Amino acid sequence: MKNKKPITDKKEIANLQILINDLEGKWKRALADYANLEKRIETDKNNFVKFSNATLLDKFLTVLDDLERAEKHLMNKGLNIAMDQFRAVFKSEGVEEIKVIKKFFDPEKMDCVEMIKGNNNQVLEVVQKGYLLNNKVLRPAKVKVGKGG
């Protein structure tokens, strides 16, 4: 191995120090980028798990609508018990009903199907219930909204 003579030129030392600082900055940015990537991957993975059942749950909402109509008309104790269990399963999966009656129309959570006489921009009637899945809209509520006084 050759013995290298130490660098004594101040200009060369300054240039090497600049290079070291530049490489150190790039290294720190690369570490930060990697840490951010790990966080984003973890968030994406959690969201995938949270929302992977969305399509299936949405299909069951139609069944829930039909069963709720039957529940109102039949007044059957067995059906009421089954419906309570059905709602409990939805709740455990992060599904909750969007409360809309007497609230102001929110186009992010509701679809207006008709404007009717009543308080301006206030939801007066629900045509079809809307639901959230982990605080994101699974199905918007279909509503009738007041217009004019």
Structural domain boundaries in the chain? 9-52, 54-147
Instruction: Point out the residues of the chain with pLDDT beneath 50.
Output: none
CATH 3.40.50.300 applies to domain 54-147: no
Which tokens sit at 111? 């679809």
User: Is residue 122 within 8 Å of 146, Cβ to Cβ?
Assistant: yes
The type of residue at 22 is D
pLDDT in tens, 63-99: 999 999 999 898 899 999 999 999 999 999 999 999 9
Containing 111, the helix (H) or strand (E) segment is: strand 110-117
Contact indicator for 141, 130 with CB cutoff of 8 Å: yes
d(C-alpha 29, C-alpha 25), whole Å: 6
pLDDT on residue 1: 53
